Structure 1
């Protein structure tokens, strides 16, 4: 398994977290992989064989080969059919809204083909250019040219939404909306409307995902294996609160998470 990340151009660094590639040779018996929420929106291009996304225990769809994965608030399973080769762009929670005119809430918990989000011909040309590129460097140049052109045609994101995201990220998801708004509590309803429109989920839901990320990183890097300690380091009220949120977003208990073959891919991303 070869997973690599790349830094974005300075002009995009406030909106794009990174570019990443994943390559995995075809396996005789591919394992389903559980994908868990990370608070980000991603644009992905499948360059290898198709990938299944399970919609139930036994039913699945094939993921679009050029798509945007919206905010997820529940885990889901994917399974490669053969050789995995993916190029993707990981946006900060408030980042992707700067490049599109649609409501971000329409992307939640699903994969949306690029041609639904952008002009059909434009999306097709972008996909062809990415597929035909000779390496990751060239793909990054192509996508950055595309994104910067889009950015120049859009207004910047509502400042109050960005301030909320920054506060949630800097406090590992624990900042309350009342604390963030301080003297501007009258703007709370406006914030929540704009947040769902531009981010896809509520501030509370995103805060829970960000806090879980903190706990996952401690757990995966084995800095501490005591669940009570991890809960307090991640600023949960107690261990029970931590386990409840963990199970809500991953579908399993923390102790089941480590060593679970279905979690290999999610573990790789979180490390």
Structure 2
């Protein structure tokens, strides 16, 4: 399993978090892998075999080869049917809205073919170029040319959304929304409305996803000795509150996550 990340061009650095590639040779013994919410939207290009995304224990859909995965409010399982060869763009929470006109709440918890977002002709040409590219650097060049061109049609991010996201990122999702808004109830509905359109999910859901990433980093890198240490470091009231939030988003407890072969990919992504 080969996973690598790449930094974006400086003009995209406030919008694109990073690019990543994943190569995994097929093994009939491969297990389902759980993908957890991370507060980001991703555009992915699949150059290998199809990937299943399970909608129940046995039912699944096949990922489109070129798609956008919207904000996730829950974990889900995937399983490749053959070799994996993927290139992806990971956008900051306020990043992807710059490139589409559709409300991002329409993309939540599902895979949307890029043709539905950018039009069939433009999407097909982009996919063709990405498939024919000789290496990862060429693919980065292609996608950055595409994104920079799209920025000319830029959508304005509302100040209330940007300032809220900035605060959540700086504090690892621990700052309550009422504190960010300074208890101004009149701003709460405005924020919720703008968030659904420009981020896709509510401020509270984004905060939970960002907080989960901080928890996973501590858990996987053994930066804290115990679950209680992790709970207090990320400002949970107690260990039980931390475990409850973790299981709600991931589907298993922190202890069950560690060493679980179904979590290998998530551990690789978020370590």
Partners of 1:145 and 1:104 in 2: CA distance: 23
TM-score after normalising by structure 1: 0.98
Pair 1:120 & 2:120 matched: yes
Which residue pairs with 2:66 in the alignment?
66
Classify the secondary structure of the residue corresponding to 2:14: coil
Partners of 2:83 and 2:216 in 1: CA distance: 28
Classify the secondary structure of the residue corresponding to 2:4: strand
Which residue pairs with 1:78 in the alignment?
78
Which residue pairs with 1:245 in the alignment?
245
How does 1:30-41 map onto structure 2 within 5 Å?
Answer: 30-41=30-41
Which residue pairs with 1:174 in the alignment?
174
**5+ residue gaps in structure 1?**
none
Equivalent pair of 2:99/2:155 in contact (CA under 8 Å): no
Which residue pairs with 2:103 in the alignment?
103
1:9-64 Cα shifts (integer Å, max 9, x gaps): 11111010000000011112221101110110000000111111111100111100
After superposition, the Cα gap between the structure-2 partners of 1:183 and 1:249, relative to the gap in structure 1 and judged at 3 Å, is closer
4+ aligned runs moved over 4 Å, structure 1: none
Equivalent pair of 1:71/1:109 in contact (CA under 8 Å): yes
Deviation at 1:211, TM superposition (A): 1.1
TM-score after normalising by structure 2: 0.98
Which residue pairs with 1:49 in the alignment?
49
1:211-268 Cα shifts (integer Å, max 9, x gaps): 1111111000012241111100111111111010000011001111000000000001
Partners of 1:144 and 1:73 in 2: CA distance: 28
1:67-101 Cα shifts (integer Å, max 9, x gaps): 00001111100001111000000000111001100
Number of corresponding residues: 271
Equivalent pair of 1:43/1:69 in contact (CA under 8 Å): yes
